[in-house]
A and B are shown apart, each in its own frame.
Chain A
Amino acid sequence: MSGPLLEITGFRLAFDGYEGRAQVLNGIDLRVEQGETVGIVGETGCGKSVLARSILRLNPTPPARVLTGGIRFAGQDVLAMDGPALMALRGAGIGMVFQDPQTYLNPVFTIGSQLADVLRAHGLRGRAAIRARSLELLEAVRLPEPAALLRRYPHELSGGMRQRVLIAQALAGSPRLLLADEPTTALDVTIQGQVLALVADLVARFGLTLVLISHDLGVIGAICRRVVVMYAGSIVEDAPAEELFAHPRHPYTRGLLAAVPDLERPTQMPAGIPGSIPSLRDPPGGCRFHPRCDLTMDICRREAPRLSGTGHRTACHALAPNQDGYAQVRP
């Protein structure tokens, strides 16, 4: 197949509430090619989870509302899909891993029953076949004693085990793309590493395309080859991981990297970014980052910058080349 596996163009999404409309996603442009590993990073509330859910059309409408733009997966228009096509997209096209293994497993059903439900949704029939495939999936996520596990309930499992079960569920439909929304955030640090290693291993083993969402640059740097930085509903920078960590361009990305604690100098507090994330109901005009930025120019207050460049894209007026072909401000 030619063309990108996932293509999001000019996607704008709002939530309508009593206090007015919140512009949660403000023109997202993102292409993910088959086989890529893409990390999406940003602060809490920047819209990364909403973006992930939009891809599977999981945001409840209302209050969510797509204003403009499109999402295509493997050439198909996601926003135009009817019931059966949508159910096939979910699980068989894209497998989703969620944040909190505590709440994303149904408390009153056994692990086996929940896996069986997903497998049946993807057309598998027959007790023996379902059981065999369930055991295969639990083994794939390296859970010990999978046969006994099938009869256990979520509350009898540790957080790490539950997250592995969630990953097994996401893999049950043999998806092409794995969409992981903060898969390690709710876990102990020691378990985080194991789960990340597992995800990286599964991606390699099954030839999956990965979109990993996290607020943690370390998590993303560990397994993603490309990093997308989001701020207040927009993508502000998109670059190969090594390039981004070595030469971050956007002022927000640089602030984000400076905020990572330095283990070499543990007594020194990391630098933060002054100010706080803007209200999405009444966002600042122009570039949404301009009130917190130290490169602000007049144009930043008037006009939202477009994501531009090839290979290493940024959305910043100060970095955009002027007529002479040079960035207006040297980062």
Chain B
Amino acid sequence: MATLRTILRRLALLGVMLGGLVLITFTVSNVAPSDPAALAAGPDATRAMIETVRHEYGLDQSLPMQLARYVADLLRLRLGRSIQTGNQVADDLARFFPATMELVLLSMLFSVLAGVPMGLWAAVRRNSWFDHAMRALAVSGVALPAFWAALLLQLVFAVWLGWLPTSGQLSVATAPPDPITGMILLDALLRGQWAVFAEAARYAVLPAFVLALPSLAAIVRVNRAEMIEVLAADYVTAARAHGVAPRRVIGWLALRNAMLPTLAMIGLRFGWTLGSTVLVETVFDWPGIGLYAVNSAIASDFKPVMGVTLAVGVTFMLTNLLIDLAYGWLDPRTRSA
């Protein structure tokens, strides 16, 4: 009951935040010094043709009017039309978003499944060589620029060693599986197309790893620090004193306490990862919303950019809502609040 109320309250708050996000993206798109109508009409267009395009897209109206129309469209889940692709932005997003989510989910899965145990073990074996290696990773993982790491990995694993493909999501010769979720890996798995799955996995390794690296570093660092603190807590001493096995004490009784701040970090990293897809998708030519946003922005086509921003924003907010609910499950003290 309390949980339901929390969800409703958070959803209402989400609406307010969305309003702010719409206002900001709309303003930023419209103060940019460019003429999308002229770009859309093409280099040889006459003034009259440009004006026609301007009218067609509603760009000749006053800004408040344009905002009002945009919001009204949004409420009907219409995000405007892309000048670049000529499609409805909503349709484009539906096409590109699954690829991005696939990449983000893969990298988050990897950074959590690897980062939590690595941080835990570094804390248990504090000041061992493993711990030192983890601290080095924690610094370098955050410090390495994603595009640089991406180029380096492409060079080593794709060009020199030839183990993995350089870019893309599948080879041109391979037909993607019939979409269920739109995520190629998941769809191939659901349809039992193992060859396609294996190939898609090879394509996904490098971009997912590059995207995961900073989150992995952050999760290792937070979980290590939290574990060190929790392992020194009185209730851990008490569990030991009562004869509970070390594995149980560390891997469950202590970890669950240490996971609280780690979980908050995972939520933040999720949003950050979504944003970083812009760079990673560009370098790896991954057909997701990041690449879509970059191509649109270069063409001064702002409706898609706004659409991508909104989609990323909503996903981030929903993810953090989930994280907060998980927090309540992990920490009984926050439930009544």
Binding site for B on A (CB under 8 A): 56, 58, 60, 83, 87-92, 95-96, 98, 100, 103-110, 114, 117-118, 121-122, 153, 155, 166, 169-170, 172-173
Contact = CB atoms under 8 A, between A and B. Distances in A.
Given A153-B333, A155-B332, A106 B242 contact: no
Contacts of B253: 106, 109, 117
B105 to A, nearest CB: 27
B243 A173 contact: yes
Contacts, number: 83
The 3 closest A-B pairs by CB, nearest first: A91-B243, A103-B234, A90-B243
B238 A107 contact: no
B239 A107 contact: no
Interface string B225-265: 00000001111111111111110100001001100100000
Interface residues of B, number: 24
Given A103-B234, A153-B333, A108 B241 contact: no
A108 B242 contact: no
Most buried by A among B234, B236, B248, B330: B234
A121 B245 contact: yes
Contacts of A90: 240-243
Contacts of A106: 235-236, 239, 253, 257
Contacts of A166: 238
B234 A108 contact: no
Nearest to A56: B241
Contact of A98 (B234, B245, B332): B234
B241 A96 contact: yes
B331 interface: yes
Contacts of A104: 234-235, 237-238
Interface of B is mostly: helix
Contacts of A172: 242
B243 A107 contact: no
Nearest to B330: A108
Given A60-B232, A87-B243, A121-B245, 12 more contacts: A56-B241, A58-B237, A58-B241, A98-B238, A100-B234, A103-B234, A106-B236, A107-B257, A107-B331, A108-B330, A117-B248, A118-B242
Most buried by A among B241, B245, B260: B241
B333 A107 contact: yes
A90 B242 CA distance: 5
A88 B331 contact: no
B244 to A, nearest CB: 5
B247 to A, nearest CB: 10
A226 B263 CA distance: 51
Contacts of B236: 106
A166 to B, nearest CB: 7
Given A106-B235, A108-B331, A109-B256, A92 B243 contact: yes
Nearest to A98: B238
A88 B241 CA distance: 10
Given A90-B240, A90-B243, A118-B243, A108 B256 contact: yes
Interface string B35-49: 000000000000000
A169 B238 contact: yes
Nearest to A181: B241
Contacts of B330: 108
B234 A121 contact: no
A89 B243 CA distance: 7
A96 B234 CA distance: 13
A88 B243 CA distance: 6
A163 to B, nearest CB: 12
Nearest to B260: A108
B254 to A, nearest CB: 9
A60 B124 CA distance: 12
A108 B257 contact: yes
Nearest to B329: A108
16 contacts: A56-B241, A87-B244, A89-B243, A98-B241, A103-B235, A106-B236, A106-B257, A107-B257, A107-B332, A107-B333, A108-B257, A108-B330, A108-B331, A118-B244, A155-B332, A169-B238
A121 B248 contact: yes
Contacts of A110: 332
Nearest to B238: A104
A109 B232 CA distance: 18
